[in-house]
Structure 1
Amino acid sequence: MKICLIRPPILCPKSHPIVQMTPPIGLAYVAGSLRDAGYEVTVIDGLAESFDTRHNWGEDCYLYGLSIEQILDGIDETTDVIGVSAAFTFEWPVCRELIKQLRERFPNVRLIGGGEHITALPELSMEETPLEVGVLGEGEEIVINLVKAFEANETDLSKIGGIVYRNEQGDIVRNERHNRIRELDDIPRPAWEYLPIEQYLDRGFGFGVTRGRSMPVIASRGCPYQCTFCSNPKMWTTRWVVRSVDNMLDELEYYQKTYGAQNFDFYDLTAIVKKTWIVEFCEKIEQRRMKFTWQLPSGTRSEAIDDEVSQLLYKSGCRNLSYSPESGSPTVLARIKKKIKTEAMLTSLRSTVNAGMNIKLNIMFGFPGETYKEIRESFKFICQMAWAGGHDLSIWAFSPYPGSELFDQLYKEGKIKMDDAYYDDLRSYSDMSRCKSFSEHIDNKTLMRLRWLGTVLFYGVGWLRRPWRPFRMVWNGFTGRHESRSDLVITSLLRRMKLVKKSKEAG
Structure 2
Amino acid sequence: MSDKKLFVTLVRGPIVFKIGALNNEATPSIAYAYIASYLKKKGYQVAIVDAIGEGLNRTYPLKDHPGFDCQGLMFDEIIAMIPKASNVIGFSCMFSGEWPVVKELITQVRRHFPEVLFVGGGEHITALTEYSLYDCPALDVCVQGEGEYSFHELLETYSETGSFVNVSGIAYIDKVGQYRQNENHISGLHDIDDIPWPYWQEGYLEKFWALGKSYGIASERDIPLMFSRGCPYRCTFCSNLRMWNGLYTLRNVNDVIKEIKYYVERYHVTNIQLYDLTAITKKSWIVEFCRLMIDNGLKVKWSLPSGTRSEALDEEVLRLLKNAGCSYVVYAPESASPRTLKNIKKRIDLDQLTRSVIKAKQLELTTRINLIIGFPSETWSDVFLTIFYGLKMAFRGVDEVPLFIFSPYPGTQIFNELLEAGKVKLNDDYFFKLTSLGSYISADMVSNNSNINDRTLLAVRSVFMLLNYTVSYLFHPHRIQRTIRNLFWKTEAATVFEHRLKDKLKRNRILRY
Q: TM-score range by the shorter chain?
A: over 0.9
SS at match of 1:192: coil
SS at match of 2:131: helix
Pairing 1:492–2:492 present: no
Shift of 1:297: 0.4
Question: Which residue matches 1:39?
Answer: 44
> 1-side partners of 2:258 and 2:469: how far apart?
40
> 2-side partners of 1:493 and 1:104: how far apart?
35
> 2-side partners of 1:196 and 1:469: how far apart?
33
Shift of 1:179: 4.0
Question: Which residue matches 2:86?
Answer: 79
> 2-side partners of 1:294 and 1:274: how far apart?
18
Question: Which residue matches 1:483?
Answer: 494
Shift of 1:154: 3.5
Contact 1:43 1:194 (C-alpha < 8 Å) held by counterparts: no
Contact 1:50 1:65 (C-alpha < 8 Å) held by counterparts: yes
Question: Which residue matches 2:461?
Answer: 451
> 2-side partners of 1:358 and 1:440: how far apart?
36
SS at match of 2:509: helix
> 2-side partners of 1:384 and 1:430: how far apart?
24
Question: Which residue matches 1:188?
Answer: 196
Question: Which residue matches 2:112?
Answer: 105
Unaligned runs of 5+ in 1: 502-507
Pairing 1:269–2:277 present: yes
Q: Which amino acid aligns with 1:60?
A: G
Pairing 1:54–2:59 present: yes
Pairing 1:9–2:14 present: yes
Shift of 1:48: 0.9
> 2-side partners of 1:445 and 1:178: how far apart?
37
Question: Which residue matches 1:65?
Answer: 72
Question: Which residue matches 1:322?
Answer: 330
Shift of 1:265: 0.6
Q: Which amino acid aligns with 1:214?
A: D
SS at match of 1:294: strand
Contact 1:219 1:268 (C-alpha < 8 Å) held by counterparts: yes
> 1-side partners of 2:474 and 2:284: how far apart?
37
Question: What do the CA deviations read for 1:219-259 (whole angstroms, capped 9, x no partner)?
Answer: 10111111110000000121110001101111111111222
Contact 1:44 1:195 (C-alpha < 8 Å) held by counterparts: no
Unaligned runs of 5+ in 2: 1-5
Out of 381, 385, 394, the position equivalent to 1:386 is 394
Q: Mean alpha-carbon deviation: is it higher for 145-154 or for 467-476?
A: 467-476
Shift of 1:194: 6.2
SS at match of 1:188: coil
> 2-side partners of 1:440 and 1:102: how far apart?
42
Shift of 1:453: 2.5
Shift of 1:178: 5.1
Shift of 1:479: 2.7
Question: What do the CA deviations read for 1:196-235 (whole angstroms, capped 9, x no partner)?
Answer: 2221133332111001201101110111111110000000
SS at match of 1:356: coil
> 2-side partners of 1:290 and 1:74: how far apart?
38
Question: Which residue matches 1:505?
Answer: none
Pairing 1:352–2:363 present: no
Q: Which amino acid aligns with 1:175?
A: N
* Cα 1:373–1:440 shift into 2, 3 Å: same
Out of 357, 379, 385, the position equivalent to 1:371 is 379
Identity over aligned residues, as a percent? 36
> 2-side partners of 1:260 and 1:327: how far apart?
39
Question: Which residue matches 2:25?
Answer: 20
CA RMSD of aligned residues (A): 1.7
> 2-side partners of 1:260 and 1:76: how far apart?
31
> 2-side partners of 1:499 and 1:231: how far apart?
37
* Cα 1:419–1:146 shift into 2, 3 Å: same
Contact 2:25 2:500 (C-alpha < 8 Å) held by counterparts: no
Out of 442, 458, 461, the position equivalent to 2:452 is 442
> 2-side partners of 1:121 and 1:44: how far apart?
24
Shift of 1:18: 4.3
Question: Which residue matches 2:301?
Answer: 293
Pairing 1:421–2:429 present: yes
> 1-side partners of 2:479 and 2:81: how far apart?
47
Out of 463, 472, 491, the position equivalent to 2:473 is 463
Question: What do the CA deviations read for 1:315-369 (whole angstroms, capped 9, x no partner)?
Answer: 1111012111111111111111111122111101011111111111111111102
Contact 1:45 1:196 (C-alpha < 8 Å) held by counterparts: no
Q: Which amino acid aligns with 1:466?
A: H
Question: Which residue matches 1:96?
Answer: 103
> 1-side partners of 2:344 and 2:144: how far apart?
25
Shift of 1:77: 1.9
Q: What is the total number of aligned residue pairs between the two structures?
A: 500
Question: Which residue matches 1:258?
Answer: 266
Question: Which residue matches 2:212?
Answer: 204
Pairing 1:239–2:247 present: yes
Shift of 1:496: 2.8
The normalised TM-score by structure 2 is: 0.94
Shift of 1:182: 3.5
* Cα 1:261–1:369 shift into 2, 3 Å: same
SS at match of 1:264: strand
Q: Mean alpha-carbon deviation: is it higher for 188-197 or for 320-329?
A: 188-197
The normalised TM-score by structure 1 is: 0.95
* Cα 1:320–1:459 shift into 2, 3 Å: same
SS at match of 1:479: coil
> 2-side partners of 1:276 and 1:406: how far apart?
34
> 2-side partners of 1:384 and 1:469: how far apart?
17
* Cα 1:61–1:245 shift into 2, 3 Å: same
> 2-side partners of 1:80 and 1:496: how far apart?
36
Q: Which amino acid aligns with 1:398?
A: F
Question: Which residue matches 1:118?
Answer: 125
> 2-side partners of 1:197 and 1:484: how far apart?
21
